[in-house]
Amino acid sequence: MKAPDRGALPLGLAATLGRTYGRLTETVQGLSDADFQRDTRCPGMPVGPLLVHLLYDAQRALIAFASPTVVDPDRDFVTYWQGFPPQLDTSFVRGVAASYRKPGLLVQHWREVSEAAVRAASRGLVTKGHRIETQGHVLCATDFVATLVLEATVHHLDLIVGLPDAPEPDSEGLQVTARTLDGLFGPDAWDVIGWDTTTYILKATGRVPLDEADLDMLGPHADRLPLLG
């Protein structure tokens, strides 16, 4: 059985992360106060709180790249998501979002931290075999950056559900995300996937429910979904 034609992880993953974060910045800059209160695909997380969640993810990347380790990796960009811990408490990120006097200040903070995280990733990927520790696991830097791309790409799709004029996620970020989901889904299920990449991501992560046609297409593999929370 042959894997879907998505290819390996891109060589320039730091650039992929940069474009992925950049598309998020394009999405939120210039939004009104009301826009930051719009619902997303994450229950209990409007646009503002979800951006705070992403901000903390970029901050985690900065901490990880500043704290390298020589311990052998115990996860890669696919297995990292298996048994993943719960998300941040929604009340926490809502409170942090409310603490910014204006949405523009939150966007500025996001831009500064996310751009710094991309610079850290660029430096971290220069050294072959560079390893980082995060969320109680050790990953090679390449695998770690791929997890950041997935997180940002999926949440980009979450953010834009109520923002019809927002830009779509970076195309390479979508491919990295789909490649990760392929790994979680498993090779015995690859041949049944008949969705386009964005639909695959939305349905495989539980953002969009499966309909009868999906259930017929997936057969016994439908029980594996959602692959991510």
User: pLDDT, tens digit, for every residue of 75-126?
Assistant: 999 999 998 765 657 899 999 999 998 999 999 999 999 999 999 999 999 9
Q: How many domains does the chain have?
A: 1
Residue 45 corresponds to which amino acid?
A: M
Q: Is residue 41 part of a domain?
A: yes
Q: Is residue 228 part of a domain?
A: no
The parent domain of residue 169 ranges over 13-221
- What residues contact residue 20 under an 8 Å CB cut-off, 6+ apart? 148, 149, 152, 153, 156, 169, 170, 172, 173
Q: Is residue 17 part of a domain?
A: yes
Q: How far apart are CA 78 and CA 180, in angstroms?
A: 5
Among positive and negative, which fits the CA dihedral 223, 150, 54, 63?
A: positive
Predicted pLDDT at 85: 61
Predicted pLDDT at 1: 42
Which tens digits make up the pLDDT trace of 14-57? 999 999 999 999 999 989 999 999 999 999 999 999 999 999 99
Global pTM value = 0.94
Q: Is residue 43 part of a domain?
A: yes
Predicted pLDDT at 209: 96
Q: Locate 213 and state its tokens.
A: 């046609």
Q: Is residue 196 part of a domain?
A: yes
Question: Of 134, 107, 106, which Cα lies nearest the Cα of 120?
Answer: 134
Q: Locate 194 and state its tokens.
A: 């008949």
Instruction: With a cut of 80, say whether residue 74 has pLDDT above it.
Output: yes
Q: How far apart are CA 93 and CA 203, in angstroms?
A: 25
Q: Is residue 170 part of a domain?
A: yes
Q: How far apart are CA 153 and CA 169, in angstroms?
A: 6
Which tens digits make up the pLDDT trace of 156-200? 999 999 998 999 999 999 999 999 999 999 888 888 888 999 999
User: What's 65's domain CATH number?
Assistant: 1.20.120.450
Contact 204, 81 (CB under 8 A): no
Q: Is residue 8 part of a domain?
A: no
Q: How far apart are CA 19 and CA 23, in angstroms?
A: 6
- What residues contact residue 191 under an 8 Å CB cut-off, 6+ apart? 1, 2
Q: Is residue 122 part of a domain?
A: yes
